[in-house]
Amino acid sequence: MALKTPEQYVDSLRQLKICAYVAGERVHSVVDHPAIAPHINTVAKTYELAHQAEHREVMTAISHLSGERVHRYTHIFQNTDDLVKKIQMLRLLGQTTGTCFQRCVGLDALNALYATSFEIDQGEGTGYHPRFCDYLLRVQREDLMLAGAMTDPKGHRAKKPSEQADPDQFVHVVERRPDGVVIRGAKLHNTGGINSHEILVLPGTGLAAGEKDYAIACAVPAGAPGVIFIFGRQSNDTRKLEGGCDIGNPRFGVVGGEAMVVFDNVFVPNEHIFMNGETQYCGGLVNYFATWHRANYGGCKGGNADVLIGATAKMTRILGTDRNAVVRDKLTEMIHMNETTYASAIGAGAMGYRLACGSYMFDPMMSNTVKQNITRNVYQISRLAHDLAGGFLATMPDQKALENPEIGAYVKKYHTANPDYDVMERIRMGRYIENMTSVTSMVESMHGAGSPQAQRIVMLGLAGIEAKIKMAEQVISGTDDVKGIALPKSN
């Protein structure tokens, strides 16, 4: 069963004893809760497309461990083509669902652990990598939905993990046993965890030598005792409970259904521990994860923007503004920004490089540039969608008004624009645009895969400012004589 069907994914979630709270109340079945169901539908789509012949190349890959065809969401990148196909997969899924499909964090955490466990073994003579490969084989064989849990609450931002008044502000080991460890703490902003099979827990920051208890990387079943999910509040989330057109994206919801996940003295057996105290490898692990994850946004947000651009273009037809040259130019601007980030993500894959463990990494400068552009372009694209769709995004009456026999006809009559289109098309498109450009969506674009300044630090560090100064000195001197110039390699 290397490729689960969507039904098998949902059934397998039912078997887990996931401890989850939504709106402050314990949820007895995540599968049947209306606040979570849209996000499960989205992940189910990732399973569904893998079975379709036309998407097979993009959605699946051949495992380098077993030689079997596996879901690309469980695959270790073997070459630059795998990196490019990952971005293509994300755009396809973004186009199909119009929202976040959640499995990318687990994929990038898998790859980060594959590379880091190899490097720890090389440097320290440990045995993490074979152990991780055994785990990976099971993930591939069972086509597991993995969440990645990286972002600690962090407490006082000016203090290190070991300096916090409350040591639980960073996930850490509180007990060591012969057969495993007990961990405590929490991770925030956890995408898809509430509807995943397992969580990959990774350190979220570089650590000092005295902080060994915080250097813990492991796999934890989502239903393990002591794992508690507390679902995040989203813009307009009670609309999911109401049903009807106000939800915007009725089947797949908006963004990834994030939760905070608490690890309240969770036991982790040795076979699921892939780093335990090797503080000197934490910074590298975080960097690997971030570089693999930041390029993603050119794919997933690209696919989401395709849907948003489509909704906006349709809206201009419904309004009768579609032939206006200014309107067409604004649509072109949306397309331009979207294709720019997609091209950078594809470029990051095409220019990727091989790591010591044999897997492949995105070009770091391009990957970080993709994410930096996303923190702007998604806002700009959304601004133009608001501009072209009009003020009714913020003022239109709700589904209940439409259903009320006393006033529903007024709502429809006075929201009818071009009579060639049913008024409900306008309302539904408007609701999608409203929800897809809500605070929840936009903030995810800003902070997902790291806040903007995190990318800028990497970009400046990689840019080779000194080499650029030498280039300028050489060009301006009119000679080839400037010493110390390091021209970039041409690949």
**CA 387 to mean position of chain CA atoms:** 27
Interface residue with ligand SF4, options 22, 50, 105, 144 (CB under 6 A): 105
The region of 101-109, 122-130, 150-158, 351-359 touching ligand SF4 under the rule CB under 6 A is 101-109
- Output the smallest distance, CB 444 to Fe ion, in A: 5
- Output the smallest distance, CB 86 to Fe ion, in A: 14
- Output the smallest distance, CB 42 to ligand SF4, in A: 9
Return the residue nearest Fe ion (CB atom): 448
**CA 14 to mean position of chain CA atoms:** 24
Interface residue with ligand SF4, options 161, 232, 448, 450 (CB under 6 A): 448
- In this structure, the dihedral spanned by the alpha carbons of residues 459, 460, 462 and 463, taken in order and rounded to 10 degrees, is 100
Q: Which residue has the tokens 């971005």?
A: 87
- Output the smallest distance, CB 191 to Fe ion, in A: 6
What are the respective helix, strand and coil percentages of the chain, to the nearest 5? 55, 15, 30
Q: 70 vs 99, 127, 388, 411, CA distance in Å?
A: 24, 25, 42, 50
Number of residues that bind ligand SF4 (CB under 6 A): 11
Catalytic member of 80, 172, 300, 432? 300
Residue 365 contacts ligand SF4 per CB under 6 A: no
Residue 316: which of ligand SF4, Fe ion, none does it interact with, CB under 5 to 8 A by kind?
Answer: none
**Extended strands (E) in 131-257:** 146-149, 172-177, 180-190, 198-201, 216-221, 227-231
Indicate if 175 belongs to the active site. no
Rounded distance between C-alpha atoms, residue 453 and residue 435, angstroms = 27
Q: Which residue has the tokens 């050489």?
A: 474
Q: Which is nearer to Fe ion, 371 or 428 (CB)?
A: 371
Catalytic member of 114, 214, 297, 360? 297
Indicate if 353 belongs to the active site. no
Indicate if 434 belongs to the active site. no
Among 112, 124, 203, 126, CA closest to 162 = 203
Cross-strand bridge partners of residue 263: 185, 227
The region of 11-19, 97-105, 277-285, 359-367 touching ligand SF4 under the rule CB under 6 A is 97-105
Interface residue with ligand SF4, options 92, 215, 260, 300 (CB under 6 A): 300
Indicate if 54 belongs to the active site. no
The region of 99-107, 349-357, 372-380, 409-417 touching ligand SF4 under the rule CB under 6 A is 99-107
Residue 359: which of Fe ion, ligand SF4, none does it interact with, CB under 5 to 8 A by kind?
Answer: none
Q: Which residue has the tokens 């840019």?
A: 463
Residue 38 contacts ligand SF4 per CB under 6 A: no
Rounded distance between C-alpha atoms, residue 83 and residue 371, angstroms = 16
Catalytic member of 19, 104, 245, 282? 104
Residue 344 contacts ligand SF4 per CB under 6 A: no
Cross-strand bridge partners of residue 60: 71
Residue 104 contacts ligand SF4 per CB under 6 A: yes
- Output the smallest distance, CB 410 to Fe ion, in A: 41
With contact defined as beta carbons under 8 Å apart, do 160 and 208 qualify? yes
Indicate if 297 belongs to the active site. yes
Residue 191 contacts ligand SF4 per CB under 6 A: yes
Q: Which is nearer to Fe ion, 303 or 448 (CB)?
A: 448
With contact defined as beta carbons under 8 Å apart, do 381 and 334 qualify? yes
Tokens of 282: 């934490």
Half-sphere exposure of 357 (CA within 13 A, CB side): 26
Residue 196 contacts ligand SF4 per CB under 6 A: no
- Output the smallest distance, CB 96 to ligand SF4, in A: 11
Cross-strand bridge partners of residue 360: 354
Residue 448 contacts Fe ion per CB under 5 A: yes
Q: 112 vs 53, 273, 340, CA distance in Å?
A: 30, 14, 27
Indicate if 258 belongs to the active site. yes
**CA 213 to mean position of chain CA atoms:** 27
Q: Which residue has the tokens 């993009």?
A: 58
Which residues are part of the catalytic machinery? Answer: 100, 104, 191, 258, 293, 297, 300, 444
Contacting residues toward Fe ion, per CB under 5 A:
448
Contacting residues toward ligand SF4, per CB under 6 A:
100-102, 104-105, 191, 256, 296-297, 300, 448
